[in-house]
Structure 1
Amino acid sequence: MGNNPEISIILVSYNTREYTLRALKTVFEETHDTRFEVILVDNDSKDGSLEAVQKTYPQVQAYASGGNPGFAGGVKFGVDRSKGELVLLLNPDTLVTERAIDRLVDFAHKHPSNGIWGGVTLNNDHTVNTQHAWARHDFLSLLFSAMGLSKIFRKSCFFNKNNYGCWDRTTVKEVDILSGCFFLTPRKLWDQLGGLDPSFFMYAEEADYCLRAKKLGYQPIVTPDARIVHHGGVSHDNFSSKLIKLLRGKVELILRHDSEFKQAIYIKLLYLYVVNKLMASALMKKGSDEHQEWQKVFNERHVWMKGYR
């Protein structure tokens, strides 16, 4: 902590009271070598998240966003009120382990030209969770995902290129996209790009940021030495709600970063992915909760296939 923080740690909460309190506890327990400030933005939680943080951690700058502008909107609200030279996005459903923030900041100092730095995420049992870095989507990655081949051959960098299937997460790696759950970037680049685009309500906003940064010559990079536990998706009521938002973000990313010719093909491949999942769930057990959730996603295709248009 300090009057002149090196980094601003930004958390956006939405009905994640207990997770948020645990995340903040680990931030303060595991960060020793970095001058930091913590800013929490609450997106209209109904579980007393804001009040609990204000009471338990008075050193945290805790704000109500005045509504629910989504993850990107909440982050913008927080960054606009921060002072650090570096901006660290940290999900409230994470646990900082083994001085992960100190390690990530040290790594950033050693690789200053990359411009976006991230670590490795772990499951609750501390096994590696690979959902922290991705390759940019292309025809083959979307096709293999739609056909289920990326899941069948999940350790293959050919069939599971999108998730870097053959990378064991024990080495430093330059990637296309980093997850926003543990995402460090300099304020100078943040300001140059205008931060996360708030029109992405939730999901793919960090992908859009990374792709825009890459166009300027920056290269997102991951260090295996900075590790956090990420529970994931705790602010969602159900699977279909999460997936509809995820698909909507993916479509918007395609509409912004691919040619018109590719857009039509790539969106059809996302549609095929949903159709195949719906058919598979029907074959396994029609009428099951899983099948009903995929049916909801399919029924909302007129929404997510337009992105945020």
Structure 2
Amino acid sequence: MSNVDIILVSYNTAEYTVRAIESVFEQTKETDVNLIVVDNASTDNSVALIQASFPDVEVIQTGKNLGFAGGVNVGAKAGSAEYVLLLNPDTVILDGAVDKLVAFAEDNIKSGIWGGVTLNNDMSLNPNNARARISFSTLLFSATGLSKIFKSSCYFNHDNYGCWDRKSDKDVDVITGCFFLTPRALWESLEGLDETFFMYAEEADYCIRAMKLGYQPRVSADAKIIHHGGVSEVNLSGKMIKLLKGKSQFIKKHEPTWKQPIFKGLLLAHVFNKYISSSLISLVKKEKLAVRDEWRTIFQQRKDWLAGYQ
């Protein structure tokens, strides 16, 4: 029986975290699981609720918010299993997904990183389980809105592999960190996640570093989970600023110097276009004023997120 350290990083997500843990134990029958919760100084009742609900689960309290990468690294160091599985607290394991993903890994051992398919709460497809590496074309089509207009195209929406229906296994560039399996040996050789990425793009960085060693991330179509997404963020601007910071940091780390201003310029164009379009929509639909204000905040803080994580 394979053994896996499952790392959940908790931050003010008490009820979601309990639901995720319940689903792991209910749905995992063929894998020896060591579940470790790392709490990033939650101000809700997360720690008390988790400890009361699952007295045998290890809960590590960091005392401060280390971000996703920092929290995961703390959890991984506390384990010793042959596999490390990153699992977001806002997920629900479906139909033995952990067992299926581990079996898939052992059948595709040279991939080095494995993920599954993510669904929304209504069981519709959530295509954010995997994505392509940041490139000129992915940024351009996002900035111009073509990736949204032609979201079922693998040319215009290559970022999310738009034409892939998630009904088949697939090699991808990046496995999303919400359901992310990797061998401990590779994890340790790469020294875990780069903690410079406080939140977002840390899994992209890990995947690219692994690919440089000859590994090829791969998705199993049979391993399915529900992923709500972004439940620890209370507003659009908070989430987007962290996401853009992560992308900017990735560009700074992995792209040549001459490409960086071009790529960051396209990130800025994307935000500017969102701000302008939401402003125009709000002239007709007053209920959209809040969305306009969020994009205005994101645009106004452009110097901060374009700099990445210092």
1:235 aligns with 232
SS at match of 2:115: strand
Q: Distance in 2 between matches of 1:281 and 1:48?
A: 36
Amino acid in the other structure paired with 1:273: H
SS at match of 1:260: coil
User: Cα deviations across residues 91-144 of structure 1 (Å, max 9, x unaligned)?
Assistant: 000000000000000000100010000000000011110001011111111111
Amino acid in the other structure paired with 1:249: G
Q: Distance in 1 between matches of 2:191 and 2:80?
A: 16
Q: Is the 8 A contact 1:5 1:37 kept in 2?
A: no
1:255 aligns with 252
Match of 1:88 among 81, 85, 89: 85
* Deviates further, 267-276 or 287-296: 287-296
Number of residue pairs matched? 306
2:106 aligns with 109
| 1:146-165 mapped onto 2 (5 Å cutoff) | 146-165=143-162
Q: Distance in 2 between matches of 1:298 and 1:88?
A: 35
Q: Distance in 2 between matches of 1:6 and 1:20?
A: 21
Amino acid in the other structure paired with 1:227: K
2:271 aligns with 274
Q: Is the 8 A contact 1:134 1:178 kept in 2?
A: yes
1:71 lines up with 2:72 in the alignment:
no
* Deviates further, 47-56 or 149-158: 47-56
Match of 2:179 among 179, 182, 202: 182
Q: Is the 8 A contact 1:11 1:91 kept in 2?
A: yes
Query: Per-residue deviation at 1:5?
Result: 6.9
Match of 2:118 among 118, 121, 138: 121
Q: Distance in 1 between matches of 2:11 and 2:23?
A: 19
Output the TM-score relative to the length of structure 2: 0.97
1:307 aligns with 308
Q: Which runs of 5+ in 1 are unaligned?
A: none
Query: Per-residue deviation at 1:193?
Result: 0.4
Q: Is the 8 A contact 1:13 1:20 kept in 2?
A: yes
Q: Distance in 1 between matches of 2:119 and 2:182?
A: 21
SS at match of 2:164: coil
Query: Per-residue deviation at 1:65?
Result: 1.1
Q: Is the 8 A contact 1:5 1:83 kept in 2?
A: no
Q: 1:5 to 1:41 in 2, by over 3 A?
A: farther
SS at match of 2:60: strand
Q: Which runs of 5+ in 2 are unaligned?
A: none
Output the TM-score relative to the length of structure 1: 0.98
Amino acid in the other structure paired with 1:258: E
SS at match of 1:307: coil
Q: Distance in 2 between matches of 1:59 and 1:164?
A: 40
Match of 2:140 among 124, 140, 143: 143
Q: Distance in 1 between matches of 2:201 and 2:134?
A: 12
